[in-house]
Amino acid sequence: MPAKSTARRSTGDRVRVAVNPAAVREVALTLFAERGYHGTALSQIAKALDIQTPSLYNHMASKQELLVAILQDTTDRVLAEYEGAVDGVADLGARLNAATYVYALRHATHPREAVIVNRDATAIDEPVRALVHAKRRKHADNIRGLIQEGVESGRFDVENATVAAFAILEMCVSIARWFDPAGPISAEGVARQHGDFALRIVGN
Task: List, in sequence order, every beta strand (DSSP E) within the chain.
Answer: 8-11, 14-17
Q: What totals of helices (H) and strands (E) does the chain contain, helices first? A: 9, 2
Q: Which one-letter amino acid corresponds to residue 183? A: G
22 binds a copy of itself (CB under 8 A): no
SS3 content of the chain, % helix, strand, coil (to 5): 70, 5, 25
In this complex, which beta carbon is closest to a copy of itself, that of residue 66 or of residue 190?
A: 190
41 binds DNA (CB under 7 A): yes
- Give the torsion sign (CA, 76, 80, 81, 86): positive
The nearest distance, CB 188 to a copy of itself, in angstroms, is: 13
Binders of DNA among residues 1 to 20 (CB under 7 A) are 19
H-helix segments, 12-160:
21-35, 42-49, 63-86, 92-109, 111-120, 128-152
200 binds a copy of itself (CB under 8 A): yes
Please choose, out of 6-14, 43-51, 86-94, 169-177, the segment that lies near a copy of itself by the rule CB under 8 A: 169-177
Site string for DNA, 43-62 (x = CB under 7 A): xx------xxxxx-xxx--x
Please choose, out of 6-14, 59-67, 146-154, 173-181, the segment that lies near a copy of itself by the rule CB under 8 A: 173-181
Phi and psi at residue 10, in whole multiples of 5°?
-85, 150
- Give the torsion sign (CA, 123, 162, 199, 99): negative
- Give the residue, chosen from 42, 92, 143, 165, that forms a contact with DNA under the rule CB under 7 A: 42
171 binding partner (options a copy of itself, DNA, none; Cβ < 5 to 8 Å by kind)? a copy of itself
Binders of a copy of itself among residues 31 to 70 (CB under 8 A) are 34-39
3 state DSSP class of 11:
strand
In this complex, which beta carbon is closest to DNA, that of residue 8 or of residue 177?
A: 8
Q: Compute the distance between CA of residue 156 and CA of residue 161 in angstroms, rounded to an integer.
A: 9
177 binding partner (options a copy of itself, DNA, none; Cβ < 5 to 8 Å by kind)? a copy of itself
Are 76 and 138 spatial neighbours (Cβ–Cβ below 8 Å)? no
Residues that bind DNA (CB under 7 A): 19, 40-44, 51-55, 57-59, 62-64
Interface with a copy of itself (CB under 8 A): 34-39, 118-120, 122-123, 158-160, 162-164, 166-168, 170-171, 173-175, 177-178, 185, 189-190, 193-194, 196-197, 200-201, 203
